[in-house]
């Protein structure tokens, strides 16, 4: 392979990495309404380069959120592995709320009515896993008897509305919101 071909591949990989970093930053800051030209501009590439690497907006969204998808899976798997179902469930609620305030775009993609098949499969699978933990916690008498998975979706969706005067205060606001939500989900016998 020629030196020219190797350099071209390195340049292409660097462009792809810059595009993904720019998309992740902008989606986290502003949500999914960011334009593709804004992403290309922040990445320092032309729109043609962006579309060559990511032919559709959805392909870019899917790839930009691959790290967040893995983090969510880790949170849910930890909840499922906890022998104390209530602790696993409540810890997952807290961790998901705190993680979600850090990336507005990821939450938008996750709760979207028309997410990509990859994100939709991820969401549905993880909600199913969390529902299993919730059933165990309800059977143990720790979770409200009238709990439904839609309640968890409501709590996570409500967490999107958290606001703070400074972005660095959002994790503590999410933590406090988690306290209130978890208390509301707890069984009071």
Q: pLDDT tens for residues 25-47?
A: 898 888 888 999 999 999 999 99
**Does residue 39 sit in the same domain as residue 59?**
yes
Residues 39 and 132 in one domain: no
Q: What is the pLDDT of residues 106-139, one digit of tens each?
A: 777 777 766 566 788 888 899 999 999 999 999 9
Domain boundary among 63, 79, 108: 63
Residues whose CB falls within 8 Å of the CB of residue 85, separated by 6 or more in sequence, listed in order: 133, 134, 136, 137, 139, 140, 142, 143
Do 54 and 76 share a domain, yes or no? Answer: no
Per residue in 61-107, pLDDT tens?
888 888 888 889 999 999 999 999 999 999 999 999 988 887 777 77
Q: In this predicted structure, what is the pLDDT of residue 110? A: 75
Does 138 lie in the same domain as 52? Answer: no
Q: Looking at residue 56, which CATH number applies to its domain?
A: 1.10.10.60
For residue 114, the enclosing domain spans 66-185
Last residue of a domain, one of 63, 87, 109: 63
Q: What is the mean pLDDT of residues 142-146?
A: 96
Query: Are 72 and 54 contained in the same domain?
Result: no
Mean of pLDDT values over 14-30: 90
What is the residue-wise DSSP string for the chain? --HHHHHHHHHHHHHHHHHHHHHHHHHHHH-TT--HHHHHHHHT--HHHHHHH-SSHHHHHHHHTHHHHHHHHHHHHHHHH-SSHHHHHHHHHHHHHHHHHT-HHHHHHHH-SS--HHHHHHHHHHHHHHHHHHHHHHHTT-B-TT--HHHHHHHHHHHTT---SSGGGHHHHHHHHHHHHHHHHB---
Same domain, 38 and 26: yes
Q: What pairs with residue 143 in β-bridges?
A: 186
pLDDT of residue 116: 63
**Structural domain count of the chain:** 2
Q: In CATH, what number is assigned to the domain containing residue 79?
A: 1.10.357
Q: Are residues 98 and 124 in the same domain?
A: yes
Quick check: 53 and 15 in contact, CB under 8 A? yes
Residues 76 and 114 occupy one common structural domain: yes
Question: Which pLDDT value is given to residue 164?
Answer: 66
Do residue 87 and residue 52 come from a single domain?
no
Judgement on whether residues 72 and 118 belong to the same structural domain of the protein: yes
Residues 54 and 100 in one domain: no
pLDDT tier at 7, thresholds 50, 70, 90: low
Q: How far is CA 88 from the centre of its chain?
A: 19
């Amino acid at each position: 392979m020629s030196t020219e071909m190797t350099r071209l591949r390195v340049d292409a990989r660097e462009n792809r990495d810059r595009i993904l970093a720019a998309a992740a930053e902008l989606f986290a800051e502003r949500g999914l309404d960011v334009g593709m030209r804004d992403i290309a501009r922040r990445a320092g590439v032309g729109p043609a380069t962006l579309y060559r690497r990511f032919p559709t907006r959805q392909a870019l969204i899917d790839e930009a959120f691959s790290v967040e998808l893995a983090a969510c899976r880790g949170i849910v798997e930890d909840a499922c592995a906890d022998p104390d179902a209530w602790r696993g469930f409540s810890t997952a609620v807290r961790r998901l709320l705190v993680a979600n305030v850090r990336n507005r775009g990821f939450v938008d993609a996750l709760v979207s009515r028309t997410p990509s098949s990859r994100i939709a499969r991820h969401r549905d699978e993880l909600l199913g896993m969390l529902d299993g933990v919730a059933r165990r916690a309800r059977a143990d008498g720790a979770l409200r008897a009238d709990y439904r998975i839609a309640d968890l979706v409501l709590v996570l969706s409500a967490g999107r509305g958290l606001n703070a005067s400074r972005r660095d205060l959002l994790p503590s606001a999410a933590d406090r919101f988690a306290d209130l939500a978890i208390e509301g989900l707890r069984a009071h016998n």
